[in-house]
Amino acid sequence: MAKLGTLFAAFLLFLPVPGWTQERPVLVELFTSQGCSSCPPADDLLRELAARDEVIALALHVDYWDYIGWPDSFARPEYTARQRAYAREGGENMVYTPQMVINGTDGVVGTYPKDVNALISEHMSRPAMVTLDVTRQGGRLSIEARAEPGTGGTCAVQLVRYRPQATVEVTRGENAGRTLNHANVVTDMTLLADWDMAGPLALDVPLTGDLPAVVVIQQGRFGPVQAVARVE
């Protein structure tokens, strides 16, 4: 009987635990600018993070440094608005570059790798309350998600497209004369649906072009990231 009890206990260790998964990617968003002399080291760090399976790293180029002599070729006002929305959610009254936002909640200077990695590890250890599965077939994308019982609120389901690599020669501004190497430059963010998490989510949407994609499920639209997945 003791042996049977030991075997049963070992079996339980391998049963799936609600709200827990070994593969739960963490979303890292870098707010950066080609016109910011402090940003290239953060761009380099993002490139390192982009190579990690457990991290989904995205670069969002903001436009509020364009006035100092170099208009960022990837900057879009909506990315500036996204960073400002994060600041409001966090009770901050200012934004800065380079900033990394981890899973929609924790902001950190993008040139502090120790702090960035500590936050990534912390978020990986948290229980996942939403499971997400994405499948691409031809020009269509299937998105399925389920929230753990008791999880409430409305989530934005967002589709992000990005360029894996880009090189830019800067001729003016603070980075004049430098060649900047960028990774995972966001080119588009589209709101697909608002999901109340009361029941399963099932979406089928078009997906055209060759650019890689990521699906983000986020509380509100600028709150905690509940789930994120690469489109394979």
Domain-embedded: residue 16: no
Domain-embedded: residue 17: no
Which domain, by its residues, includes 36? 25-230
Domain count, the chain: 1
How crowded is residue 84: how many other Cβ atoms within 10 Å of its Cβ? 17
pLDDT at 24: 83
Structure tokens at 212: 């890689």
The dihedral through the CA atoms of 73, 74, 80, 86 has a sign that is negative
Q: Which residues contact 50 (CB under 8 A, 6 or more apart)?
A: 57, 164, 183, 184
How crowded is residue 229: how many other Cβ atoms within 10 Å of its Cβ? 22
Domain-embedded: residue 13: no
> What is the band of 232 on the pLDDT scale with cuts at 50, 70, 90?
confident
Domain-embedded: residue 14: no
Per-residue pLDDT tens over the stretch 109-146:
999 999 999 999 999 999 999 999 999 998 999 999 99
Per-residue pLDDT tens over the stretch 40-73:
999 999 999 999 999 999 999 999 999 999 999 9
Domain-embedded: residue 12: no
> What is the band of 1 on the pLDDT scale with cuts at 50, 70, 90?
very low
Domain-embedded: residue 3: no
Q: At what angle do helices 113-124 and 40-50 cross, to 10 degrees?
A: 30
Structure tokens at 28: 């890292």
Residue recorded with tokens 């990231």: 225
| Mean model confidence pLDDT for the chain | 91
- For 205, counting Cβ atoms within 10 Å of its Cβ (0-12 exposed, 13-18 middle, 19+ buried), the class is middle
Task: Say which DSSP state 71 is in.
Answer: -
Whole-number Å distance between alpha carbons of 105 and 25: 15
Domain-embedded: residue 150: yes
Smallest CA-to-CA distance from 155 within 132, 183, 123, 122 is with: 132
Domain-embedded: residue 180: yes
Structure tokens at 146: 């389920």
